[in-house]
Structure 1
Amino acid sequence: MVGMTSNEQAVVARLDAAAMLAQVEHWAAINSGTRNLDGLARMATVLADAFAVLPGDVSLIEPAPVESVAADGIVSPLAHGRHLLVRVRPDAGRRVLLMGHMDTVYGADHAFQTLHWREPGVLVGPGVADMKGGLAAMLAALTAIEAEGGCALGYDVLINSDEETGSLSSAALIAKVAAGKVAALGYEPALADGTLVGARGGTGNFSIVVRGRSAHAGRNPEEGRNAIVAASEIAVRLADARGDGLWVNPARIEGGGPNNVVPELAVLRVNFRPRDAGAIARAQAVVDRVTAEVAGRRGVSVAVHGGFNRPPKPVDAGAEALQAVIEDAAGSLGIAVGWRDTGGVCDGNNIAAAGVPVVDTMGVRGGAIHSSDEFLLVDSLIERAALTAVTMLRIAARLPT
């Protein structure tokens, strides 16, 4: 531990690898898929109890309203779980956000529900890396800091229930809690070799509802207005708009019926991946233009639902300064750190959009996330908890207000 203060050494010495592992095993045994509201309620209660050891206020926040477009084109409310917020030293002059999520991609009916050891030190299970391992490392670091007398920083811990589906019910809460923070740490898993994510692209999801007119496909097809054809034309034209920092993925068309009926309804699902704010503006303009032109030419009505829920996350001067603090902390701990940009998105995008420097892969090392082979490298629990602890102490000492 080169160049560490006595306080930093004392905090790291308090970390308990066995206790963290037991916590991960307990939490990963609770199914908390984003749509499993009962499982999320149980998970939120368990996490609230666990984080109550910190010297702050613990609350469960109701989700914001979210609408969903079904395959029949009907728009209806979509229920979400509550979000956990812990506020420690809210009156401190300098405050940090620690961001995590309790939901997983594995629903209550998914086949992947149990944990097993792939080999010594490699635990396989739903959410062990993404991100129940990260939550355990985060909590252990904060608990150790407080046990050694705390630090000059105040902080909020926000753990939402819908990150895996775009944080639609928590986006406004993230922006509110992030406001004014000097830095933020997120607990998405690092890569297995310890690489952290730097810049991220953005994302937007759209459901485009096309309504035409049904008719007999043989007797009077000219009186029909084929919604499937119109939706397909929109899909092709949007796909052709990719390039210059924008990727477009028309993912699904729902609708239609018997072969002898001109389909009157289609729902097109499209995902956009913009590299920068300019690409978002271009994509929105393309959506507006293409849907209007196809509606006019095909004699259909088109309703566009959705939007760009996660803007791109660049690495600006503030993020570079935070990365430097993390690299310094890692060096003192003997941890190798590398950086890689990605097109994947997470709540780090939302935090950066609030003007707060963020590094969002402070979680455990692991891999195969979102699959039935998801694994956690168990020795990374104490490693990443130590990295968080030392980083927090050095943010308190070094980052400007």
Structure 2
Amino acid sequence: MTTTTPKDYNRWLDWLDGRQEAMLARLVDWSAINSGTRNLAGLERMAERLTEAFRALGPATAEALPLPDAEEIGPDGAPRIVRHGRMLRFVFNPQANRRALMVIHYDTVFPADSPFQTARRTDADTLHGPGVADAKGGICVILAAVETFLRSPWGRDLGIEVLLNPDEETGSIGSAPLLAEAAGRAQFALLYEPALPDGTLAGARKGSGNFSVVVRGKAAHAGRAFHEGRNAVVALARVIGALHGLNAERPTITLNVAKLEGGGPTNVVPDLAIARFNVRTESHADQHWMEDRLRALIAAADATAEDGITVTLAGGFTRPPKEIAGRTAALYDWVKAAGGVLGQPIAWVPTGGCCDGNNLAAAGLPNVDTLGVRGGLIHSDREFMTVSSLTERARLSALLLMRAAAEGLPWEAER
């Protein structure tokens, strides 16, 4: 195995020094393409730009993979089909024995009719715009890091698979099987959600599930036939109280009832009500406990409801918890050491948020996420990123790729 010194790596990392403005211009251009998860036309335009950029790096396999349709509960309480954009896959050096998986999404939370559509520089080191941090800035970092690595003497000694998915912001329901499949082809993964503004990474991540409770009753005139009706809204209110009560039963979970739908004119007994809620769990044991409690709670609500009322549950967990242990812990320490070489202090904190790193961890692949740009206020019209972090974070990832190729991974010394 080839060994080298940090000084040798710096010769190749220095190529990034003059790249910041070009990276910024690309990010501004990408930010102006609305690629909200449900905007299939915008996602396709974004996919074309991304494919062009990655193909320009040199010989690579480039694929646009269709994702399966999914189901969700519509406002009428019935399942409806949800269609996704395409997963982009770029593979470099398929002949290499060791492979890195680099993952991030190209969808955003901003729909096509959002007023937040363009990026602008608010000061010398701050860019404000949709997706600039979450996560088109991260794609810029991947692109520059891979280009830097391929120019280096170790540029053929590590296989790289880049996956860019179009549905992460809604739980990666369509892309999850492809992520799990890719996890079996790699030894480690790097993910490019934004870091915190000071560069801190996300460590352990909670799991997440999205659910809908659908209550159906019987409509009736509120004045002439009130007692013939069966009020779905009132029945749902009882269920919501029981759901919220689960928060007091287990301190390591949170259940947030977030959206209510149903009802209509005040002179009609409502026959439909829907509650949508999210659950966060710290451990796999939490998830199993919650699944059991939800099944029991909904079954009891349905069994004890007055005649003519039905209560059903839809949805499930899409992100298992990500715990920092074993090879994942070793990988975090390895990233911290690389940051130290570059003068970038690396720390991490647990978070209630989740990402595709949860899915890859569940598939058994060690991974570090939030290696994207430094930024904040994501999922709002105040989203921003730190301009200087474009080349800063690209240097870190390029160094990780070179070290993986030249020195191997931290746990390989165990053999």
TM over 0.5: yes
Q: In the alignment, which residue of structure 2 is the partner of 1:162? A: 167
Q: In the alignment, which residue of structure 2 is the partner of 1:173? A: 178
Distance 1:172 1:5 in 2: 41
What one-letter code is carried by the residue in structure 2 that aligns with 1:50?
Answer: A
In the TM superposition, residue 184 of structure 1 has moved relative to its aligned partner by: 0.6
Q: In the alignment, which residue of structure 1 is the partner of 2:303? A: 296
2:88 matches 1:84: yes
What one-letter code is carried by the residue in structure 2 that aligns with 1:23?
Answer: R
What one-letter code is carried by the residue in structure 1 that aligns with 2:346?
Answer: V
Q: In the alignment, which residue of structure 1 is the partner of 2:322? A: 313
Tell me the secondary structure at the aligned position of residue 12 of structure 1: helix
Distance 1:18 1:117 in 2: 12
Q: In the alignment, which residue of structure 2 is the partner of 1:43? A: 46
2:137 matches 1:127: no
Q: In the alignment, which residue of structure 2 is the partner of 1:253? A: 260
Q: In the alignment, which residue of structure 1 is the partner of 2:222? A: 217
What one-letter code is carried by the residue in structure 2 that aligns with 1:275?
Answer: E
What one-letter code is carried by the residue in structure 2 that aligns with 1:251?
Answer: A
What one-letter code is carried by the residue in structure 2 that aligns with 1:319?
Answer: T
What one-letter code is carried by the residue in structure 2 that aligns with 1:289?
Answer: A
Q: In the alignment, which residue of structure 2 is the partner of 1:146? A: 150
8 Å CA contact retained: 1:239, 1:250: yes
RMSD of aligned Cα (Å) = 1.6
Q: In the alignment, which residue of structure 2 is the partner of 1:68? A: 72
8 Å CA contact retained: 1:325, 1:394: no
Matched residue pairs, number?
399
The CA deviation string for residues 159-213 of structure 1, in whole angstroms up to 9 with x for no partner, is 0011111111111111111224211100001111110111000110011211122
Q: In the alignment, which residue of structure 1 is the partner of 2:61? A: 57
8 Å CA contact retained: 2:145, 2:397: yes
8 Å CA contact retained: 1:103, 1:163: yes
What one-letter code is carried by the residue in structure 1 that aligns with 2:66?
Answer: E
Match of 1:106 among 99, 103, 110: 110
Structure 2, unpaired ranges of 5+? none
In the TM superposition, residue 123 of structure 1 has moved relative to its aligned partner by: 1.2
The CA deviation string for residues 271-313 of structure 1, in whole angstroms up to 9 with x for no partner, is 1111111111111112111111111211322232110000111
8 Å CA contact retained: 1:180, 1:356: no
The CA deviation string for residues 34-62 of structure 1, in whole angstroms up to 9 with x for no partner, is 11111110000110111112432010010
Match of 1:4 among 3, 6, 15: 6
Aligned pair in 2 of structure 1 residues 54, 322: CA closer, same or farther (>3 Å)? farther
Distance 1:134 1:312 in 2: 23
2:283 matches 1:276: yes
Distance 2:219 2:148 in 1: 66
Q: In the alignment, which residue of structure 2 is the partner of 1:285? A: 292
In the TM superposition, residue 245 of structure 1 has moved relative to its aligned partner by: 1.3
In the TM superposition, residue 151 of structure 1 has moved relative to its aligned partner by: 4.3
Distance 1:202 1:28 in 2: 29
List aligned pairs for 1:16-31, cutoff 5 A.
Answer: 16-31=19-34
Q: In the alignment, which residue of structure 2 is the partner of 1:203? A: 208
8 Å CA contact retained: 1:208, 1:305: yes
Tell me the secondary structure at the aligned position of residue 206 of structure 1: strand
What one-letter code is carried by the residue in structure 2 that aligns with 1:286?
Answer: R
In the TM superposition, residue 3 of structure 1 has moved relative to its aligned partner by: 5.1
Q: For structure 1, which segment, 40-49 or 160-169, has the greater mean C-alpha deviation from structure 2 after superposition? A: 160-169
What one-letter code is carried by the residue in structure 1 that aligns with 2:379?
Answer: H
Q: In the alignment, which residue of structure 1 is the partner of 2:408? A: 398
Distance 2:230 2:285 in 1: 35
8 Å CA contact retained: 2:96, 2:156: no
2:271 matches 1:267: no
2:328 matches 1:324: no
8 Å CA contact retained: 2:93, 2:156: no
In the TM superposition, residue 252 of structure 1 has moved relative to its aligned partner by: 1.7
8 Å CA contact retained: 1:104, 1:164: yes
Distance 1:112 1:259 in 2: 36
2:243 matches 1:234: no
In the TM superposition, residue 231 of structure 1 has moved relative to its aligned partner by: 1.5
Match of 1:93 among 75, 97, 104: 97
The sequence identity of aligned pairs, in percent, is 45
Match of 1:189 among 191, 194, 217: 194
Q: In the alignment, which residue of structure 2 is the partner of 1:353? A: 362
Q: For structure 1, which segment, 390-399 or 217-226, has the greater mean C-alpha deviation from structure 2 after superposition? A: 217-226
Aligned pair in 2 of structure 1 residues 231, 90: CA closer, same or farther (>3 Å)? farther
8 Å CA contact retained: 1:11, 1:389: no
Structure 1, unpaired ranges of 5+? none
In the TM superposition, residue 32 of structure 1 has moved relative to its aligned partner by: 1.0
The CA deviation string for residues 371-394 of structure 1, in whole angstroms up to 9 with x for no partner, is 222112111111100000111222
Q: In the alignment, which residue of structure 2 is the partner of 1:33? A: 36
Tell me the secondary structure at the aligned position of residue 256 of structure 2: strand
The CA deviation string for residues 90-125 of structure 1, in whole angstroms up to 9 with x for no partner, is 343221110011111112211111222211121111
In the TM superposition, residue 11 of structure 1 has moved relative to its aligned partner by: 2.4
In the TM superposition, residue 154 of structure 1 has moved relative to its aligned partner by: 1.0
What one-letter code is carried by the residue in structure 1 that aligns with 2:282?
Answer: R
Q: For structure 1, which segment, 220-229 or 142-151, has the greater mean C-alpha deviation from structure 2 after superposition? A: 220-229
2:20 matches 1:13: no
Distance 1:61 1:270 in 2: 31
List aligned pairs for 1:360-399, cutoff 5 A.
Answer: 360-396=369-405, 397-399=407-409
What one-letter code is carried by the residue in structure 1 that aligns with 2:357?
Answer: G
Q: For structure 1, which segment, 190-199 or 257-266, has the greater mean C-alpha deviation from structure 2 after superposition? A: 257-266
8 Å CA contact retained: 1:230, 1:295: no
8 Å CA contact retained: 1:137, 1:381: yes
Distance 2:274 2:37 in 1: 23
In the TM superposition, residue 249 of structure 1 has moved relative to its aligned partner by: 0.7
8 Å CA contact retained: 1:151, 1:393: no
